[in-house]
Amino acid sequence: MYNNYPNQFQNPFIPQLNLQQNMQSQKMDIIHVNGENGAKAYQLAPNSNVLLLDDTAPIIWLKQTDGAGYPSLTPYSITPYKPEPPIDVKSLEERILKLEAKINAEPNVTAVTDESHSKPTKSTESKTSNVFF
């Protein structure tokens, strides 16, 4: 913690500040590979991971290495983002009017009366109650 000069204390936070400045200025690149073979061939240090953009298919490869440097490779499919088209209120109104016209053009369905759904009489109850399955 002391420098070569007596009576001077070295600030332990200065090296950390320099490290943070170096990390902020670090340049990030997109790494392009050609297919799975290109992703497998990409060299990576132990305990590291990287995303590799495949130039031959819409795939991103996640390559990870363990402490011994053994790699694992996981593909993820990607598709371009397409925003949904805005809703056209005028076309919706036209569709609703067409549906209403079709409904109104059909003949009226006869209403079901209560008589057709009456309870069974005693004579029909006795006939059905003796049936065994």
Q: How many CA atoms does the CB half-sphere of 18 hold within 13 Å?
A: 5
Token pair recorded at residue 131: 């049936």
Q: Is residue 1 part of a domain?
A: no
Q: Is residue 32 part of a domain?
A: yes
Its pTM stands at 0.45
Closest of 63, 88, 89 to residue 75, by C-alpha = 63
Residues 48 and 94 in one domain: no
Which CB contacts under 8 angstroms, 24+ apart, belong to 73-78?
73/36, 73/39, 73/40, 75/36
Distance, in Å, from the CA atom of 63 to the CA atom of 51, rounded to the nearest integer, reads 6
Task: Specify the residue for token string 């070569």.
Answer: 4
Residues 19 and 45 in one domain: yes
**Structural domain tally of the chain?**
2
Residues 26 and 64 in one domain: yes
> pLDDT tier at 20 (50, 70, 90 boundaries)?
low
Q: If you average pLDDT over residues 22-29, what whole number do you get?
A: 65
Q: If you average pLDDT over residues 10-32, what whole number do you get?
A: 64
Q: Is residue 131 part of a domain?
A: no
Whether residue 79 has pLDDT greater than 70: yes
Token pair recorded at residue 49: 């991971």
Q: Is residue 110 part of a domain?
A: yes
Residues 101 and 56 in one domain: no
Residues 99 and 66 in one domain: no
Look over the chain and give the mean of its residue pLDDT values, rounded to a whole number. Answer: 77
Tell me the residue range of the domain where 53 lies. Answer: 14-77
Distance, in Å, from the CA atom of 16 to the CA atom of 71, rounded to the nearest integer, reads 31
pLDDT given at position 42 = 94
E strand or H helix that includes residue 90: helix 89-105
Q: Is residue 72 part of a domain?
A: yes
Q: If you average pLDDT over residues 48-66, what whole number do you get?
A: 94
Q: Is residue 129 part of a domain?
A: no
